[in-house]
Structure 1
């Protein structure tokens, strides 16, 4: 979603799920359609400095924002118009804002170490809560609206009684600033995430810690949220550990462990057609199998390649795996035992970059940096044919659903269509201005999608060779992978710009 001219500081989703808003260092707030991603109206302007935070009211009709201009502002979520005058009172940056569950009250936390309460209808200042000795970083109302919880730079979590407008208790335990707080749907538990890399759970009624701190993150914990049933605590870290972890809030147990086993970087993963398991390939030269539901490792690592494993694919029946590696070989494996099936398939003179099974499982195609594609009999391992035509390395291969054609992408900037039965080049599709990294054929066989280092995706009619519409633009770096949805109506793309994008082909 493009539009802001500076960094995005905060994103909030409306309770009805229909729109979201983003706050930015460009001093604006923007609204977006949650389904289509389209911008809604013009940017909401009025703040004179970075907008740090935004939140929707419970009925999704209004948005509240806080900024470095020390003000809080209210906005009409449907029109984008400012509601009333700015709410003045804070003397430092406003870091966090929240609506009460009934929408009647707004709380704002500031770098001035105070929390201010406001009447959301009139904008009147109701109270100033003082007690934190550091910047207030996070706020959350209890479901019954009686309490407000705050997290602070002073390493504490504080519980405020909104009826008496006094501090009720201070929760200590973190050894660094508290960036995020959340209250369970029942109001019973409080969770806090901190720069000390832990999450702590407290009983909101007694102030007692519930179990030991939740440890596992290796960076600051920026966000915490309870699941709707209150049993799962989802912790999202915006730190250098780049992970999302799921915890059971009652027991403190990690619901899903990180999948550990490879000793070096994972290069690719493939999911079995039946969805029951998946496999991963690595720089450590091995392939590992995993249970999809439990995440448990299956059997021993599949070893045999003498160099980095680049590519893996399942057979249609999910009984075999094919792999290609920097050792220039293709290997077949038994999924149930993990044993190699036969000898390595040798013949390529360069790195094997892509492998694919034909839809009937009888044939394997492998693409290589030697500029060729090789076809193999998957039962015997016999070499069937070498397809020559690309002038630079082959990066991607994919069979058509009817098995008649094979599509390849190359760093020669072309997509090529081959007749597998005749074992000949049928046509060459030109249009990309840089390397083609990924190709895929739609489930119907009608369309081909290609992703390139020119940062675009192109759609081709497989029958006529014509491009379908204009190139899909939006990524800001090389496109590494493309895939069709099962119904063929959407494409997902992955890029070195760090994003995944979903494209509707028939809007």
Structure 2
């Protein structure tokens, strides 16, 4: 759920998609996306305005995902899990950026990026804290040892020089982030497990939440408690966070509510935010302090507007069958979707309202959709073996369908200049088309021995990458159709998705072997 931080009114409907409890949520630095982790073993990224998922769930953890966070630049996501590992993902593609970070001997409970994005801190049920190099995935020094029970929550100070940890030993500790030495040992005051800790934006205070149902503020330098505990929740406090200006604190609880507190007075600002039907597991402020996001055991994420309390759009409803493909327009104002109901739809990305009627013309499942670079056209591929181009404003088809494939068209994309379209098919070929005339440019690209599942242009439009059920990735000259080098081998099962990096130097691939690989693109 997302909430208004001033009046506690829920914004929009719950964000739904996880099949089990939501354990952790966080805003991206720009405030436009939310990442959530769940007991369904996945992490997901959502559009804050619409509540729509951005891409597929991140599927690599083998057990519950306990904690998620964006990097300061918003380009990466880190996740921790009951499988004892930490994983780093590309926030845009969902691809793993390296092998899992391994070292903890028990489940990972909490993690955070350093302010410069160069390090990650993790806490674990093995009673230790670890700091990792984000670039290499290597641990920096030895684990921080001092807690006598599970570490439940960790956070960097704003300057990146200190780490605060909360533990099931009922205490809070502050560590030197470089050496691992204790700077403040055992802040005591809670009468039960400490579940969540955070620094204030200026680094001068620490907030903590506990299973004793209270929230506490501590002096970040001395460890002395500031005032009395904040009381109001009727069940365990599971998550706490400061507002960006440091004037308010937000807490989530097993009493199913979110509360906002005045830091100076300790008083609750307004009534509790109500809407979740199960315990609230995670809360976060948006970067501008105008919205709150909350995750819950009711399997939902909710967003609440900070000023008006008005809902920010309803769920996107309209397709009568599963949605197979979605994409944003280049300006982010619209979303296109393809569906098993054989149609293409365009939606207002802010309101969730459909823009016009569904695009009708395919007579079988629409498998792939994409906007042209100028946002004026949409290309779609279908199980009916055809590719179609549509006017993105009116939904009118631009010319006849592109025909040439003799099996399912599985993936389509525009070239960066919008002049060409690439498609791939279960007929084992890749084709390039003139986007205006629909005529095939040259012969089909042939070399894969099985169905081709995904294609993409390089950023300069000179190369095409394809992935196939033959377990290989191939790079092609986009003008001549000749393969560039040998197939890229390494996956042990079919390739599900491929993409170039923005600079064209790397290619990422996903596979049915449950791995993602990144290789040099030239």
Q: TM-score range by the shorter chain?
A: 0.5 to 0.7
Residue 165 of structure 1 aligns to a residue whose secondary structure is: coil
Match of 2:316 among 249, 253, 259: 259
Q: Which has the larger radius of gyration?
A: 1
Q: What's the counterpart of residue 208 of structure 2?
A: 150
Among 230, 234, 241, the residue aligned to 2:289: 230
Pair 425,9 (structure 1): closer, same or farther in 2 beyond 3 Å? same
1:426 paired residue among 433, 443, 457: 443
| Correspondent of 1:110 among 164, 167, 182 | 167
Mapped partners of 2:451, 2:60: distance in 1: 28
**Cα distance, 1:246 vs structure 2:** 4.8
For residue 443 of structure 2, give the secondary structure of its aligned residue in structure 1. Answer: strand
CA RMSD of aligned residues (A): 5.6
Cα distance in 1 for residues equivalent to 2:441 and 2:113? 59
Aligned counterpart, 1:210: 269
Question: How far is 1:15 from its partner?
Answer: 6.4
Question: Which of 468, 471, 476 is 1:452 aligned to?
Answer: 468
Structure 2 match to 1:98:
155
Q: Which moved more, 1:17-26 or 1:288-297?
A: 17-26
Q: CA deviation at 1:95?
A: 1.4
With over 3 angstroms needed to count, the CA separation of the structure-2 counterparts of 1:254 and 1:13, relative to structure 1, is same
Q: What are the ranges of 5 or more consecutive residues in structure 1 without an aligned counterpart? A: 342-356, 366-373, 375-386
Contact kept? 1:33, 1:39, Cα under 8 Å: no
Q: Which moved more, 1:77-86 or 1:121-130?
A: 77-86
User: Given that residues 219 and 237 in structure 1 are in contact (C-alpha distance below 8 angstroms), is that contact kept between their aligned partners in structure 2?
Assistant: no
CA contact (8 A) 1:119 1:126 kept: no
Mapped to 2, the partners of 1:267 and 1:32 lie a distance apart of 23
Aligned to 2:251: 192
Q: Which residue does 2:239 correspond to in 1?
A: 180
Instruction: Give the Å deviation of 1:505.
Output: 2.3
What do residues 436-462 of structure 1 show as CA deviations (whole Å, max 9, x unaligned)? 123345576532322224554321224
- Decide whether aligned partners of structure 1 residues 288 and 255 sit closer, same or farther in structure 2, where only a CA change above 3 A counts: same
The verdict on how the C-alpha distance between 1:400 and 1:145 changes in structure 2, with shifts beyond 3 A counting, is: closer
The answer to which of 456-465 and 69-78 deviates more is 69-78
What residue number does 2:12 align with? none
Give 1:69 shift.
3.2
Name structure 2 gaps, 5 residues minimum. Answer: 1-57
The structure where strand makes up a greater share of residues is 1
Is 1:410 the counterpart of 2:425? The answer is: yes
Q: Separation in 2 of the partners of 1:476 and 1:238?
A: 37
Alignment partners' CA distance in 1, 2:390 and 2:467: 29
1:468 aligns with 2:484: yes
Q: Structure 2 length as normaliser, TM-score? A: 0.63
CA shift, 1:94, in A, is: 1.2
SS at match of 1:208: coil
TM-score (norm 1): 0.65
Determine if the alignment matches structure 1 residue 138 to structure 2 residue 154.
no
Cα distance in 2 for residues equivalent to 1:228 and 1:451: 38
Give the direction of change, closer, same or farther, for the CA distance of 1:423–1:137 in structure 2 (3 Å limit): closer
Q: How far apart, in 1, do the equivalents of 2:297 and 2:69 lie?
A: 19
Q: 1:426 to 1:56 in 2, by over 3 A?
A: closer
After superposition, the Cα gap between the structure-2 partners of 1:178 and 1:331, relative to the gap in structure 1 and judged at 3 Å, is same
CA contact (8 A) 2:466 2:474 kept: yes
Distance 1:226 1:37 in 2: 26
How far apart are 1:298 and its partner, in Å? 2.7
- Report the Cα offset of residue 114 of structure 1: 2.7
1:136 to partner: Cα distance: 1.8
Who is 2:186 aligned against?
128
Per the alignment, do residues 136 and 428 of structure 1 end up closer, same or farther by CA in structure 2, a change over 3 Å counting?
same
